[in-house]
Amino acid sequence: MLDERDWEEFKGKLRRKTEIDLDLYKAPQMQRRIMNLARRNGYDTYSGYFDHVVQDKDDFAAFIEYLTINVSEFFRTPDKFAQLETDVIPDLLTRSKKLNIWSAGCSIGAEPYSLAMIMKEMTPGVRHRILASDLDIEILGKARKGVYNSSELKAMSDARKNKYFDVDGDKYAVKQEIKDCIEFKRHNLLKDNFESGFDLILCRNVVIYFTEEAKDQLYANFFKALKPGGILFVGATEAILNFRKLGYTSYKPFFYQKPL
């Protein structure tokens, strides 16, 4: 049975330490996920586990990575990335030669680097802006390093692997010309102010545990952040059912447009 006092104490400690507000996440799913981890480490209270894990920098970084679900890969859901390449970006380029793109919740950096490769191939010599943000400072460090294993590149063509990576054993390091295309930044999607003027925003596989109210607020904030005609690209399990109420039109499945 859930000890509400223990859960509230844990949420308070986490919020003070990290600015992560679990009141904006679906409680049952997060409680189950965190307690499973606590029990694997020999603890049966949330607060007790937090007090333990906060004492070691590496353990705490691993806990935050687990909590924020940092799972990603290059060109994740290749069919959707193909649509991005063949339909969405060419359409956006008809209105602006230089695009302002945001990978929101970029995790390990695979998504923004995938975008940089696409843009380099589609518009050689043009410098677009690609902003990549995440809440997790440790994972942003990994993203900036740009070193990956083969499983994270499984959806990528051999041609792109050979062109954009330096290979060292079983590690693939993103070449500097691609790293230079990305602007990494720490950003809390549920708390911080948003920039505006984006042609394209990607927020994929980020909102899985957010409450419906938090999702609606996030998508409303993205709407304000987009240019007229700009497009929001969400994950393959994250269709926005009330997109019309939020002001969007449906561009393609999982792509939503701010009307011109």
pLDDT in tens, 103-160: 999 999 999 999 999 999 999 999 999 999 999 888 999 999 999 999 899 989 999 9
13-37 pLDDT, tens digit per residue, is 999 998 888 898 888 988 998 999 9
List of domains in the chain: 4-67 (no CATH), 78-257 (3.40.50.150)
Read off the pLDDT of residues 44-98 as tens digits, 9 standing for 90 and up: 999 999 999 999 988 888 888 788 776 678 998 889 999 999 999 999 999 999 9
Residue 96 amino acid letter: S
User: Does residue 215 have a pLDDT over 80?
Assistant: yes
The answer to whether residues 200 and 230 touch, using CB atoms and an 8 Å cutoff, is yes
Give CA–CA dist 128/117, Å, rounded. Answer: 11
Q: Which helix (H) or strand (E) holds 202?
A: strand 198-203
The pLDDT, as a whole number, for residue 71 is 63
Place of tokens 């793109």: 101
Cα–Cα distance measured from residue 237 to residue 250, given in angstroms and rounded to the nearest whole number: 16
State the Cα–Cα distance between residues 131 and 256, nearest whole angstrom. Answer: 19
Residue 182 has pLDDT above 90, yes or no: yes
Distance CA(197)–CA(225), nearest Å, equals 6
Q: What is the mean pLDDT of residues 166-173?
A: 92
H or E stretch covering 172: strand 171-174
Reply yes or no on whether the pLDDT at 185 is more than 90.
yes
Q: By three-state DSSP, how is residue 241 classified?
A: coil
The whole-angstrom separation of Cα 1 and Cα 181 is 50
**How much is the pLDDT for 3?**
86
Mean of the per-residue pLDDT values for the chain?
93
Rounded Cα distance, 42 and 44, in Å: 7
